[in-house]
Structure 1
Amino acid sequence: MKNTGHLLFLLALSVLFRPALAIDLQPGDIVAPPPNVTVATLSYVNSQNNDLFQNGVNTGADPKLESNSVFLRLTHTYSIGSLPAVSFVQTGTGALSTDGSLSAFPGSKGMTDSSIVTAIWPYSNHATRTYLGLAAYLFLPTGEYSNAKAFNLGSNRYAQALQMGYQRPVTKNIDAAVAVDSTWFGANSACAAACLSNQNLQLTQKPLYTAQAGPIYKINQTYTVGATYVYVTGGETAWNGVERNNTLVTQRYFLSGVAHTRVGRFTVQYGNDITTMNGFMESNRFIVRYAKAF
């Protein structure tokens, strides 16, 4: 393996970036919900990464990193004054496995980081299918983490994000949805192996900015499909204040299919990266969700 230390550095930071890329909106997420509904959602997520890029150039390495996770989300809808609102708590468990040029590095198994989210709709009009929603995210460092390992399910730091989404009709059955978000990261003061050090360094990261947009097609009362383009930029990291010149610029897409049935809502999603500047290019992301209101 050429330049093993530098390769490990890039790979480790790719893992840290991934939790921040998870604020993907599904078809229907921007639609204001009715109040006093509780929903349990179970999700399975598989992600595969097989290429490594540095400053927009494929390094030619053969890293293989795959994650399999299961998440449980509990959601409750309510009203704040006359405005629709929703809050949820999510946590999960998973496994991160390494192979190829990463086979010498141990993977990670255990809990993932958790999140608490609250959203409110300053404007919602079901008659015109027009919605403007705002959401605040708090990410908690509950995931499995060891400073002696470069690859961890958890990030060992807090993070916060703000997101704004807007949706309106384009035709009788097609809506257009757009959203932007910003994520701010706390410091990880126990970064050793992932920071190529025998002792703990402080890992800090600049804000990460994301924009996503795409159409949502309601086929009928049961089936809905959607396509989303996502652009991500920012997120440069530093070790003990020394910047690493690893700004993330990634374009990706995902396709969604939703079925509303008498036993609950099923969602299937597939996507991958189109281009990336630094770190992994995700080759496959497959998600299955089941949500049940009660």
Structure 2
Amino acid sequence: MTKALKPLRPLTAIAAAAASLALTAPARAIDLDAGDYTALPAGTNALVVYGQHATRDKLYSKGDQVPIHPGLDSDIGILRGVHFMEVGGLIIDPQFLLPFGRLKGKDDTAALGSSSGVGDLILASAIWFTQPGAKTHFAVTPYLWLPTGKYNRNDPLSLGENRYKFALQVGSIHELAPGVNLDLAADVTFYGKNTDANNGAGGATTLKQKPLLALQSHLRYQLSPTLDLRGGLFYTAGGETKLGGVDQDNRQATTKFNVGAGWFVAPTTQLLATYGRDIKAREGFKVNNQLNLRLLTLF
């Protein structure tokens, strides 16, 4: 049951929503799809297109639900290119991820407006310590975000963050039984400074953020060689920010799940669909519906 809170004035509630989105929505962890840590032979290329539609109708502050009727919809795509190669006997996969899309405030948070454009470019490469074809896969992946996306300090829905970010993720896949696989991953994200953050009055100040920790697991069952069912559980914690040197007390603690299926419609083409939502959120908007679609082609 939601704890009772004193009513907030509309402008205060909207300001809280804007701060929540600007400071915590980009702090999401690096969500994987089941099977992402499968090592493929050197020389393989992958082109991946993602699409995500998400809706949010609850807003939380320090674990308490804010007593307004907020709304935030997002339609986000990602274009991803991957090349597998061998270096020193190890498989690596240099890649880029380019997000793009649209965000729109609704209902009591409609004053957030809307924004569309391109997000920050992400560069990454997994390094596998197992070989293609093995029943167990294990890899480490560094990620680097470049501040190339659309950003305006007076727009709480900017798709870019105006700062560098670095993350290190460890991931593995384990065959529990024939046709049953468990994926596990853990990562930590470190944040550079945004020296052009909104100080609450339209002026510029500096945003700093503590590291964000994340854990995730995925269970996958092969119904046939080309069709699988899957489910995932995610937990994110940390990422508290300071704005102009003032601690915002907005530590993250989010638990969510998804379920879905993957289907190889051709030997080198896979369609993937998952549905999920947040189970619990301490800070920011709580996702009540999220649909992810992915098209993967290998060549």
Question: What's the TM-score once normalised by structure 2's chain length?
Answer: 0.92
Which of 244, 249, 262 matches 1:258?
262
Determine the structure 1 residue equivalent to 2:291: 286
After TM superposition, give the deviation of residue 204 of structure 1 in Å. 0.8
Which of 14, 19, 26 matches 1:12?
19
Distance (Å, rounded) in 1 between the aligned partners of 2:240 and 2:73: 23
Determine the structure 1 residue equivalent to 2:70: 63
Distance (Å, rounded) in 2 between the aligned partners of 1:15 and 1:271: 22
For this pair of structures, how many residues does the alignment match?
A: 291
SS in 2 for 1:26: coil
Determine the structure 1 residue equivalent to 2:3: none
Determine the structure 1 residue equivalent to 2:183: 177
Is the counterpart of residue 226 in structure 1 residue 230 in structure 2? yes
Distance (Å, rounded) in 1 between the aligned partners of 2:20 and 2:111: 17
Q: What is the one-letter code of the residue matched to 2:193?
A: A
Is the counterpart of residue 138 in structure 1 residue 144 in structure 2? yes
Matches within 5 A, 1:108-119: 108-119=115-126
Determine the structure 2 residue equivalent to 1:120: 127
Q: What is the one-letter code of the residue matched to 2:264?
A: H
Runs of 5+ consecutive residues of structure 2 not aligned to the other structure: 1-6
Distance (Å, rounded) in 2 between the aligned partners of 1:105 and 1:18: 14
Determine the structure 1 residue equivalent to 2:95: 88
SS in 2 for 1:104: helix
Distance (Å, rounded) in 1 between the aligned partners of 2:131 and 2:137: 4
Determine the structure 2 residue equivalent to 1:72: 79
8 Å Cα contact 2:29/2:212 also seen in 1:
no
After TM superposition, give the deviation of residue 95 of structure 1 in Å. 1.0
Distance (Å, rounded) in 1 between the aligned partners of 2:252 and 2:258: 19
Q: What is the one-letter code of the residue matched to 2:115?
A: S
Determine the structure 2 residue equivalent to 1:102: 109
After TM superposition, give the deviation of residue 220 of structure 1 in Å. 1.5
SS in 1 for 2:126: strand
8 Å Cα contact 1:5/1:196 also seen in 2:
no
Deviates most, 16-25 or 72-81: 16-25
SS in 1 for 2:21: helix
Identity %: 27
Determine the structure 1 residue equivalent to 2:202: 198
8 Å Cα contact 2:62/2:249 also seen in 1:
no
8 Å Cα contact 2:163/2:193 also seen in 1:
yes
Question: What's the TM-score once normalised by structure 1's chain length?
Answer: 0.93
8 Å Cα contact 1:177/1:214 also seen in 2:
yes
Determine the structure 2 residue equivalent to 1:212: 216
**RMSD of equivalent CA atoms:** 1.7
Determine the structure 1 residue equivalent to 2:35: 28
8 Å Cα contact 1:137/1:161 also seen in 2:
yes
Which of 249, 256, 259 matches 1:245?
249
Matches within 5 A, 1:40-55: 40-55=47-62
8 Å Cα contact 2:21/2:156 also seen in 1:
no
SS in 2 for 1:154: coil
Distance (Å, rounded) in 1 between the aligned partners of 2:248 and 2:57: 23
Query: Which string of whole-angstrom CA distances, capped at 9 and with x for unpartnered residues, describes residues 75-98 of structure 1?
Result: 111112111111211113211111
Distance (Å, rounded) in 1 between the aligned partners of 2:16 and 2:59: 11
After TM superposition, give the deviation of residue 71 of structure 1 in Å. 1.7
Determine the structure 2 residue equivalent to 1:160: 166
Distance (Å, rounded) in 1 between the aligned partners of 2:168 and 2:29: 13
Determine the structure 1 residue equivalent to 2:4: none
